[in-house]
Structure 1
Amino acid sequence: MNLEKQAPADVGVLGGGRMGAGIAHAFLLAGSRVRVVEQDASSADAAAQRIVESVGRSEERDHALDASEILGRLECGADPGAFGTCDLVIEAVPEDRALKESSLARAEAAMPEGAVLASNTSSISIDDLASTLRHPGRFLGLHFFNPVPVSLLVEIVHGETTDPIVVDDARRWVRALGKTPIVVRDSPGFASSRLGVMLGLEAIRMLEEGVANAEDIDAAMTLGYRHPVGPLRTTDIVGLDVRLGIAEELAATLGARFEPPELLRALVAEGKLGRKSGEGFYTWISARSENGDGQ
């Protein structure tokens, strides 16, 4: 067996929203048994439905896949005790420091001591999160990108206390998903969020200043620099509230250059969060029509 292509046998995902469901989907396709834990039974049922629909669409695109076999390795519930046999547990709750700290503590208390614990955070310090854990050496960041099933990148973020063997394991697991790992030292915004948010904020400022409309600003990057998606459309996909939270975190640590534009704050206050609310910098009639995997 090629160890470079071997996914962990038993994976836990804490949080079954868009990102958590996508992470579960990716590991299911790689052959892992996946246990998704949500805050209550209703949320767990909703997470299961997301994953069932997502895997079904993968089967439609690739007839070699057997959705019933894949979904037979999925469990969704509200009891963290399900993590008791996991090799890897990934926290995928919203980008709120206190929520992540409490969620990681719940996961660590339930999982085997030798297992690896990861956070899908896009901006919160891995060292800060590790400081609240009993086994910080077994902890790191695994930053997945939306939509997870088709994204080709996973950012591995190691803290000061992360065991190098854990980083090596993470590299192997990411490759087993058919994705490319990059390894980044813990720092504000890591690599991807820091670069992506800076570009997105400048695009919002340009829109705010009337430099051009959203479509033309995005076209400057997709046609001029061959970005697959423009920065304003990307912000809609990620969620304006998510981008605002990351920008505020970076502004607090890196300074005023990451200060969110007033337009971003105003749209979030109005509930215009992008694709998930139906309106942001663009109008989204159907998330599924804009994004084939529904993540």
Structure 2
Amino acid sequence: MADLSEIISKTAYQLLKRAATKLPPEIKRALQKAYESERSPTGKAQLKAMLNNIEMAEKYDMCICQDTGIPLFFVKWGLKSGLTLDIRKPVMEATRKATLDVPLRQNVIHPITKENPGTNVGWGMPYIYYDLDPETDYIEITAVPKGFGSEAKSSLVWIVTSESMPEAIMRCVVDNTLAAMGEPCPPTIVGLGIGGTGDIALHLAKRAIFRTPLGSPHPDPVVAELEQKIFKALNATGLGPMAMGGDTTCLAVHAEICGTHTAVVPLGITYQCWVARYSTARIYPDGKVVYITHPE
């Protein structure tokens, strides 16, 4: 097998480039479906502009949006792969190269001094989330150039358990979405993390955004029912594409849950804008790379 570090670096670079310049097919299909069913002329015009933007980005191999976000990576490490490596260095190399070549906007700064190295690398960035999977024989990497128009509208709410939990969760999500207006660039994917601790809830919400297939229900029927109710409620607000009015405020609502304290339930709410940038690949022990969201 070729050098694993080199394989990871090349794969991570490709994932960042593909995520920034081409939307996953399921996202494009959802936006096309929204355009075809949209009844508001203003909303329809907004969706048409989005579809044109996607087409132009693919044609000219350019970024879909000027805000290419900050580089996040979700790594699922299959223990049956037998692969061992500190992937931070190759991922940093990939991020530097993608920033220069794609190019990605130089967004990452020191949070206090605002120093900008111009590489999107430094002070813990790119940030890597790890999960171990004892049953798989590959490393799965998802690159997420996460824009901050949607990120900045994330919220953490604490709901006392004397409340009707489904009603309280729906009220919080609808209120937060209406308060956000057009800043998350709707139609969005809404990620919810319910339970755990505050940090767990927000982490679950972030992971929920990238569930695939888009709109697939949670395996717990209680959670799946809540997802659908919130999805319908958000699209009934009339907020619409870019908050200009219309039928499609969100493309999907994905929720994840975790056991929590008997007194209070944390609710993490986060958004992915219509430029739903993420790209996933799997690396196998023989060095084979399979691109999942953006097949070659």
Where on the TM-score scale, by shorter chain, does this alignment land: which range? 0.3 to 0.5
TM-score w.r.t. structure 2 length?
0.34
TM-score w.r.t. structure 1 length?
0.34
Question: Relative contact order (C-alpha < 8 Å, sep 6+): which is higher?
Answer: 2
